[in-house]
Structure formats: structure tokens, C-alpha cells
Amino acid sequence: MKKVCIVTNYKGTANYGAILQAYALNMYVRLQGLECRTLNYRALRIDKKKFIRNNISRPKVIADMALLKILRKMAGNVQKLRRDVFNQFREECIPHTKECGRQEVGDIAKEFDILLCGSDQIWRPSLQTGEFDDVMWLIPFSRTMPRLSYGSSLGITEFDEKKKDYIRDALKNFQAISVREESAKKLLEQICKRKVQVVLDPVFLIDRDTWREFEVCSRRTGKYIFVYFIEPRKNIYRRIEKYARTENMEIIYMPYMGYKFNWSDFTLRGRKVVAATPQEFVGYIDSATYVITDSFHATAFSVMLHKDFNVFLTNHGTRLQNLLNLAGLENRIINNGASIHGSPVSNEIWEKADSRINEERGRSIRFLKQIFL
């Protein structure tokens, strides 16, 4: 039996999308009869002095990080609740290696036959230092080990020549490369002069029935709107509240509390859920009457579970736009000035969306099965 090591954003994240894609990819590989564990990688702590030196000409970046630190201290107990839930989920639901730093990853990898990196923004330069993480590009591992990426993302669309050289060198030993956005495919093909494939996010590798077995359904008996935003949306909250009153629905919302902690998330009037498990996150979506979000994964589960929804695009909403285009659901997008509407998606449209996604899932699975040969 082949042994697969997955390298992804696994440790330290309190982002539902990040943890669910990590769970889904690990689960899918194991369902194919392979042994699979996710690398329990402990990233280097930020050197604060180096961070300040690197961003001395960008005072807003430094100010934002200082404000973020203050807000996190103010909401410390709330964030700890969610971190504890995520830590328990990682420990119990995602088979993983022992914890390791950059110096140990090469030795741990000797236990495996194949390296698989992805999904999520593992190839994005650090928001704090602007540098790549060598581990996410598989550089510290033996170059003779078979490796491929699944649905990896760059996070940005432009690189200087130094980073382009880094990317060429890192990817030259990959047997196959796939990404999650068309923009990343074009950029990497231009840099590396080789074929790159766009694939579905790992959550789509798991079928609807399996996700419903995974989820813990909401115990709410009445109709409700489920709200989950990544970006600050204070200007939209009053419109959501007005729509909920008009439709006589409760609001249930989860503050993001990620790297962009937003205190304004706590001003939306409704039932706040701060420490839901990933199973409950999926369950809240599946039991909702209506979903309002700017999150890719909240949208992905809304599409997969056939939930009426509306989406506000973020400044980095390329993959979200790609998903809606693929499913033929572009009309679910709302711009910041538009009114909120809960118009239902017809069964005919859902059938077409399922057909398109299933076709793309087939291509994604064929790409991933290269590791099983």
C-alpha cells in the first residue's frame, strides 16, 4: 500500500474552509485505499523586528497588525473557544504526522512514498514577511520523491523575477501540477513553460450524501438565514436584518475570527455562534433557509447541498467567481449597493449545476488518481 503525505495549511488555522478542504483531501485519498497522513507542520514564528524592517515604508500594514493584536486580546476567550474546537477536530478527524518544524520535515517524509501539496493558498507569500514558505513548495524534501500539487493557490497574480526563479526551481521536480484558479494556471504556465490543470476544491471530491453523514444538523426548528463573512461587511448588516424581519426569519451568524479579525462582525443582530465544530458549520448551512456569505467554502457547500444563497464577492474572489460560472449560478452574486433577495434556485438550474460540477469532478479525480498508479 502506497503512503501519501499531504502538505497543506493544517496547523493553527481557525478557518472553516481551510480545515474542511484539508479534511476532504485526506479523506478522499484514504477512500482510494491508500495510507495517508497530513504533515503536522509548525511554521516559523514571525520575526517582529524583521517584519517592521520589511514594512517600514508601509505604515498601514504595521498599524493593521497592531490593531489586530489588540482586537485579538479583547476577544481572547472567544477565539480560544474556536481554536480549542479546531484543535480537537484536527486531532480526532485528520490522520497526521507528529508535529515538526522545517528541519524535521525531510526525515518525517522518509516514511512516505508520495508528496501531495494542496489545496488552499499554500503558495502565497507570507502576509507578514512577503517570503515563500519552503515547506509548502516541498523544497526541504528529497528531490527524488514523487510529488504533485492538488488545487494549490498563489493568492496573488504578480511576482518579481526573483520569485519567478524560485517558482521555476521549486516546481521542476513535480510530476504534475494543478491549481484551483484559472489565473494561477495561466501565470504558472507562463513562468514554468509546462502544463498546469485547474481542478475543483477538495470538498467537491466528497459527495453530498457523505457530507450529510459528516454534518451535525442545527437544532433550530424555525426558518433562519445563515451568515458567514470573511471581509468586513458592516454596511450590509442592516440590510440583512431588514430582510430577516420582512421574511420573519432568525439570523444565525458565525464571526470569521481569522487573520482578518473584525470586531464589527459582532454587531450583527442575531444568534452568534463562535465555537461551532466543522461538522456543525456544514450542518448550519444545510439546515438554513437562506445563506448569505462572501466565503468560497460556504458558497461551495450551499451549491453542493442545494441551498438558496447570495454571495458578495471579495477583492480576491477569483475562485468564487470561477465556481459560480462553472455552476451557472452567477445571478446569485449581489454587489454592495444591491438589495438582498431570497429568490429560490429552481430544480432545473440545480440539475444543470450538478451536471457541470460532476463533469469537472471527474476531470479532477482523473488528475488526482495519478498518485495511485
Domains and CATH numbers, the chain: 3-205+361-372 (3.40.50), 215-342 (3.40.50.2000)
Helix (H/G/I), strand (E/B), else coil: 5: strand
pLDDT at 341: 72
219-250 confidence digits (pLDDT tens): 777 899 999 998 877 788 888 998 999 999 99
- Quote the Cα angle for 5-22-18, to 5°: 140
Contacts (Cβ under 8 Å, ≥6 apart) of 73? none
Least confident residue range of 10-14, 148-152, 299-303? 10-14
pLDDT above 80 (res 304): yes
Q: Round to whole Å and give the CA distance between 234 and 178.
A: 36
> Residue 152 corresponds to which cell in the numbers above?
494549490
Phi, psi (5° rounding) for residue 212? Answer: -70, -25
**DSSP secondary structure letters along 160-228:** -HHHHHHHHHHHTT-SB-EES-HHHHHHHHHHH-S--EE---GGGGS-HHHHHHH-------S-EEEEE
Q: Round to whole Å and give the CA distance between 293 and 243.
A: 15
Torsion over CA: 181, 183, 187, 189 (sign): positive
Q: Is 362 exposed, middle or buried (0-12, 13-18, 19+ CB in 10 A)?
A: exposed
Percent of the chain having pLDDT more than 90? 61
- Residue 278 binned pLDDT confidence (cut-offs 50, 70, 90): very high
pLDDT at 75: 53
- Asked whether the beta carbons of 255 and 189 are under 8 A apart, the reply is no
Percent of the chain having pLDDT more than 70? 86
pLDDT at 72: 56
- Quote the Cα angle for 70-72-78, to 5°: 145
Nearest to 160 by CA among 189, 135, 125, 136: 125
> Residue 70 corresponds to which cell in the numbers above?
489588540
> Residue 91 corresponds to which cell in the numbers above?
486531532
Q: Round to whole Å and give the CA distance between 5 and 114.
A: 6
Cα 339–chain centre separation:
28
Q: Round to whole Å and give the CA distance between 105 and 155.
A: 24
The C-alpha cell 469537472 sits at: 360
Predicted model pTM: 0.90
Strand partners, 309: 291
Amino acid (1-letter code) at residue 171 = L
- Asked whether the beta carbons of 299 and 108 are under 8 A apart, the reply is no
Highest mean pLDDT among 156-160, 294-298, 315-319: 294-298
